[in-house]
Chains A and B, each alone.
Chain A
């Protein structure tokens, strides 16, 4: 059995446009005046057809529309993509089709259309539950608008999740706890809670370099916020299942689980990445990043810009980096199969001594403390 089957097979569709660029964001997102929806729908369809032959015989478990802001897609565009996929692959009975949405009233107006196109899960970028902070994050919506959009969403979809960014400027552990309780009273069964990452090359990144991004919580305070978040969500029945993701058991994002369980995924759209097992070898694929360049490439045959064969070391490193993010931990037997060798026993013993990891039934599992310093654990396990 190919290893990817342990993770499943999903489709990622990248929509590269936004209404405005948020100052913290380094995703592949662009602001344009006009978008020819029909042309884009057709381009996605061609890409799926191009990739189809090498992926025949598979059952599709998930589709994820990510961005950018996919809630700027016309419902017909979404429908074209879903229909094209359905013609190529049989859908699993419980297929999950998610779409990322920004919570403004305009976008809420399209939710019914998305549902009719086949979308069954919405992930909303609420980001903060206070207007002052939403402004600082450069967002286009207010808290009340987000709440209203959320209500529309929950009336259309069984599964609605939303994102918050915390460890923001000026935030203390107390104000965050209050905001989190507020969020939990709103949440249905899934929440993504990201600590603010300062990315190089963004407006926040530049201000950070210049020292003008003030009042960010210290690493110690951020660590306290992280641990408090784990406790509070757990107490509300939404335990963490991944570093930044919380769900009622069974309500996890199945698409994202494919990434973390190191399954296969096809990536279409500008800058989309994929991992595909072909003839027993794992490949990393990448498409053209710029929307214009991607579109031209698709028209002249293929949007794929690069395909790299992953060595055993690369693949096992990726499996470890992704798998250790999950609360269920990593199957060390699978690691052995992918890498051809065992994880270093002495390093694991040292990490166990430090209370950073546990081993159970041939699984390696990061503790709560360990997940907060996962990069250090990975360095320890991967760097000779």
Chain B
């Protein structure tokens, strides 16, 4: 157990590629935590553990012993988080497990959107923040300008910012000294009942579920029985230890310390980030504040391309879910796509990662339907009784509009940093997406805009569009803010007069015609011609708001076909058979699977 005043717990916040991993490597190396011969690059990122943790990786941690200039030895615990917005909740938990942050900014680049989003999390967690200007070895480095930017944009004092090159090692000692002298020691009562925060957890093939904890009060020892307060489950602790960064067993963890426990837990699902762990008897009454179960915000349908693979898909999803509590799923049947699953994710990245894993690791080709957010549909009340609220995860389930009182949609606060010359395009894009401007300031030659936007307008292709209109120079981050009522309607799509459930979507009434027209035009290009003409319509309720006609196929014949061509032709047909498997039939019309996703990408 370490004395409280000899412990410093911190995280590193940075925009991607500003040097967080490299700096962590240098800190580990400088303090001799890892022998030089075992040192490899991006040490925290390349741990075996990380690979096994797969996508639910939220925190890496390392315990560093540092002998300071004052002769005292300190224990420094670094928690490293990927910092993607999809995992904002997990990141905020990790932040609450430490007292301070190093704010790493690339001195050749300056502050970016992710820097901001992450630093606000640190400020929210009451961190002491030490600015670090990295990459000073590069000629383009401009520390004065970037320090000024940190003060202007973030509003923290950067006069004592440390100038570092994580590459050459310059400034690393100063950084370690700053951690010891500028960051506060943790507080806690070793004689109180155990109160530990569950920071993260992941599955290990040998040890079962490994739980990363921060001790707030009391002590954690091997052999103890502990209680997880969110669900009251009891566990026998069979191992405790710390990461250096390899696992190392210890006898006891006291207040302020960060380490792990294992307790023969089978599923990550049974451990919840943010939960409070205490003694099974005479434990603390007061759980740590702020625990909330993960809430999926983006939903989509996943269907096997080959409907015979449905059971394989079920298997794959079951397995992935065991290790990822933030991912929800239920069976879905679609007239168009057959049997599949409606799945909920923390965000688009999370969606993509899970989808890719199913396709790659389980070798199942998937049709992904358009992502949708969760709408709050308020039903009309009866005789003074207030109508109920329905959480709508799938536009296909939208109740009859005549029974609906109003609909609310989730909104976000988006922060975008962009060079001046692209500002006009960015404002137009946000405006087109029903955004409400909240702030516009300048940081040097770059503008920072803050928009209140409907999440629905962002989930599909906002980021792609932003990158394309700014040639990749904009940085973007967002945070969920809450629900707001708007004039929302369900738009259905009819192909050859048959509704295609997988293409229906919620849209703002004012944008319905535009979306409907774009959708019909897109589909006209995506659906191959058939032997008859096909009307393609968008409708709200029974009212058609847009219409296109796909004309009939008139020429598709092999001009020459003689003796030798029989084989060739038969092979061609076999290929077409395979191709047809990837189509879905609606009445008499075959729709290729790409249509479901491509149709929803807006080019405007």
Do A286 and B576 touch (CB < 8 A)? no
Say whether B281 faces chain A, with CB atoms less than 8 Å apart: no
Residues in chain B near residue A195, CB distance under 8 A = 555, 559
B555–A222 touching, CB < 8 Å: yes
Chain B residues near A382 (CB, 8 Å)? 573, 577
Measured CB to CB, the closest approach of chain A to B574, in angstroms, equals 9
Tell me whether A318 and B557 are in contact (CB under 8 A).
no
Residues of A within 8 Å of B530, CB to CB, are 376
By the criterion CB–CB under 8 Å, are A321 and B573 in contact? Answer: yes
For A223, the chain B residues whose CB sits under 8 A away are: 554-555
CB proximity to A under 8 Å, residues B546-601: 553-564, 566-567, 569-570, 573, 576-577, 580, 588
Do residues B576 and A272 form an inter-chain contact, with CB atoms below 8 A?
no
User: Which of A35-43, A131-139, A366-374 is found at the contact surface with chain B?
Assistant: A366-374
Most buried by A among B555, B560, B570, B588: B555
Give B525 Cβ to nearest chain A Cβ, in Å: 14
**Contact yes or no, A314 B570, CB < 8 A:** yes
Does A219 count as interface, using CB distance less than 8 angstroms?
Answer: yes
For residue B247, CB closer than 8 A to chain A, the reply is: no
Contact of A121 with B by CB under 8 A: no
Could you give, for residues 242-279 of chain B, a 1 whenever the CB lies within 8 Å of some chain A CB and a 0 otherwise?
00000000000000000000000000000000000000
Q: Which residues of B contact A321 (CB under 8 A)?
A: 561, 566, 569-570, 573
Q: Do A243 and B531 touch across chains, with their CB atoms under 8 A apart?
A: no
* Nearest residue, chain A, Cβ from B532: A354
B-chain residues with CB within 8 Å of residue A222 when the two chains form the complex: 555
Cβ contacts under 8 Å, B569 to chain A: 318, 321
Give residues of chain A (92-137) contacting chain B, Cβ–Cβ below 8 Å.
Answer: none
CB contacts (< 8 Å) of A325 on chain B: these are 561
A222 to B559, CA, bound (A): 12
B486 → A minimal CB distance (Å): 44
- A241 touches B (CB below 8 Å): no
Q: Which residues of A contact B556 (CB under 8 A)?
A: 372-376
Nearest CB of chain A from residue B302's CB, rounded to whole Å: 24
* B563 x A267 contact (CB < 8 A): yes
| A350-384 interface with B by 8 A CB criterion | 350-351, 354, 356, 369, 371-380, 382-384
> Known: A194-B559, A375-B557. Contact between A284 and B567, CB under 8 A?
yes
Closest to A197 in B: B559
Question: In chain B between 453 and 491, which residues have their CB closer than 8 angstroms to a CB of chain A?
Answer: none
Interface: A294 (CB within 8 A): no
Q: How far apart are B531's CB and chain A's nearest CB, in angstroms? A: 5
Task: Tell yes or no: A17 within 8 A of B by CB.
Answer: no
Contacts of B559 in A (CB 8 A): 194-197, 243-244
- Cross-chain contact B567 with A373 (CB below 8 angstroms): no
Q: How far is the CA of A220 from the CA of B562 in the complex (A)?
A: 25
Taking a contact as CB atoms under 8 Å apart, the answer to whether A273 and B563 are in contact is yes
A322-B577 contact given A356-B531, A376-B553, CB 8 Å threshold: no
Interface residues in A142-175 by Cβ distance below 8 A to B read none
Cα A286 to Cα B576 in complex, Å, equals: 23
| Cβ-defined contact, B555 with A256, below 8 A | no
* A374 with B564: CB separation less than 8 A: no
Map CB proximity to A onto B91-135 as digits: 1 under 8 Å, 0 otherwise.
000000000000000000000000000000000000000000000
User: A265–B563 contact, CB under 8 A?
Assistant: yes
Q: Would you give the shortest CB distance from A253 to chain B, in whole angstroms? A: 10
When the two chains form the complex, which single residue of B554, B561, B566 contacts A373, counting CB atoms closer than 8 Å?
Answer: B554
Question: A374–B557 contact, CB under 8 A?
Answer: yes
Which B residues lie within 8 Å of A384 (CB)? Answer: 577
Residues of A within 8 A of B580 (CB): 379, 383
**Interface: A75 (CB within 8 A):** no
| Chain B CB within 8 A of A271 CB | yes
Contacts of A318 in B (CB 8 A): 566, 569-570
State A317–B553 Cα separation when bound (angstroms): 23
Interface string of A49-70 (1 = CB under 8 A from B): 0000000000000000010000
Interface size on A, residues (CB 8 A): 48
Contact B563 A373 (CB under 8 A): no
For residue A8, CB closer than 8 A to chain B, the reply is no
Q: How many Å lie between the Cα of A197 and that of B558 in the bound state? A: 8
Residues from chain B with Cβ under 8 Å of A244 in the complex = 559-560
Q: Which residues of A contact B555 (CB under 8 A)?
A: 195, 219-220, 222-223, 226, 372-373
Contacts of A371 in B (CB 8 A): 557
Chain B's nearest CB lies how many Å from the CB of A363? 19
Asked if A383 and B567 sit within 8 Å, CB to CB, the answer is: no
Chain A residues whose CB sits within 8 angstroms of the CB of B562 once the complex forms: 66, 256, 259
Which A residues touch B567, using CB under 8 A?
A: 273, 284, 286
Closest CB in chain B relative to A233 CB, distance in Å: 15
Q: A328 to chain B: closest CB distance in Å?
A: 16
Shortest distance in angstroms between A27's beta carbon and chain B's nearest beta carbon? Answer: 9
Known A317-B573, A383-B576; judge A284-B557 contact (CB<8 A). no
Instruction: Provide the bound-state CA to CA distance between A384 and B574, in Å.
Output: 11
Q: Is A12 an interface residue (CB 8 A)?
A: yes
Question: What chain A residues lie within 8 Å of B553 (beta carbons)?
Answer: 373, 376
With a 10 A CB-CB cut-off, give which of A220, A354, A380, A383 has the most chain B CB atoms.
A383
Q: How far is the CA of A375 from the CA of B580 in the complex (A)?
A: 13
- Separation in Å of the B552 CB from the closest CB of chain A? 9
Give the complex CA separation of A325 and B569 in angstroms. Answer: 13
- Complex CA distance for A181 and B148, rounded to whole angstroms: 83
Nearest Cβ distance between residue B110 and chain A, in whole angstroms?
43
Tell me whether B554 and A220 are in contact (CB under 8 A).
yes
Contact A275 B563 (CB under 8 A): yes
In the complex, the answer to whether B573 meets A322 with C-beta atoms within 8 Å is no
Tell me whether A274 is interfacial, beta carbon within 8 Å: yes
A284 to B532, CA, bound (A): 36
Do B563 and A354 touch across chains, with their CB atoms under 8 A apart? no
- A259 nearest CB neighbor, chain B only: B563
A residues 317-337 in Cβ contact with B at 8 Å: 317-318, 321-322, 325
In angstroms, how far is the closest chain A Cβ from the Cβ of B263? 53
Contacts of B573 in A (CB 8 A): 317, 321, 378-379, 382-383
State the CA gap A274–B564 with chains docked (Å). 7
A378 cross-chain contacts in B, Cβ below 8 A: 573
B563 touches A372 (CB 8 A): no
A window 166-220: CB within 8 A of B: 194-197, 219-220
B591 to chain A, nearest CB (A): 15
The complex places the Cα of A273 from the Cα of B571 at a distance, in Å, of 14
Residues on the A chain within 8 Å of B566, using CB: 259, 273, 275, 284, 318, 321-322
Q: Which of A197, A265, A271 makes the CB contact (< 8 A) with B560?
A: A197
Contact residues, B501-553 vs A (CB, 8 A) = 530-532, 553
Check A271–B564 contact: CB distance below 8 A. yes
Instruction: Report Cα–Cα, A374/B577, bound state, in Å.
Output: 16
Alpha-carbon separation in the docked complex, A356 to B567 (Å): 25
CA distance A220 to B553 in the complex (A): 9
Question: In the assembled complex, which residues on chain B have CB atoms less than 8 Å from the CB atom of A243?
Answer: 557-559, 561
In the complex the two chains form, what is the Cα distance from A168 to B558 in whole Å?
16
By the criterion CB–CB under 8 Å, are A350 and B588 in contact?
Answer: yes
B18 CB to closest chain A CB, in angstroms?
A: 43
A167 smallest CB distance to B (angstroms): 9
Residues of B contacting A259 with CB < 8 Å? Answer: 561-563, 566
Q: Which residues of chain A are near B557, meaning CB under 8 Å?
A: 243, 371-375
Q: Is the CB of A274 within 8 A of B561?
A: no
Sample of 30 A–B contacts (CB below 8 Å): A12-B563, A194-B559, A197-B559, A197-B560, A219-B554, A220-B554, A259-B561, A259-B562, A267-B563, A272-B564, A273-B567, A275-B563, A317-B570, A317-B573, A318-B566, A318-B570, A321-B566, A322-B561, A322-B566, A351-B531, A369-B554, A371-B557, A372-B555, A372-B557, A374-B556, A374-B558, A375-B556, A376-B531, A379-B576, A383-B576
- Extra inter-chain contacts (19) besides given A274-B563, A322-B561, A379-B573, CB under 8 Å: A194-B560, A197-B559, A220-B554, A223-B555, A243-B557, A243-B561, A244-B559, A259-B561, A271-B564, A273-B563, A273-B564, A317-B570, A318-B569, A322-B566, A369-B554, A373-B557, A379-B580, A383-B580, A384-B577
What are the 3 closest A-B residue pairs judged by CB atoms, nearest first?
Answer: A223-B554, A273-B564, A223-B555
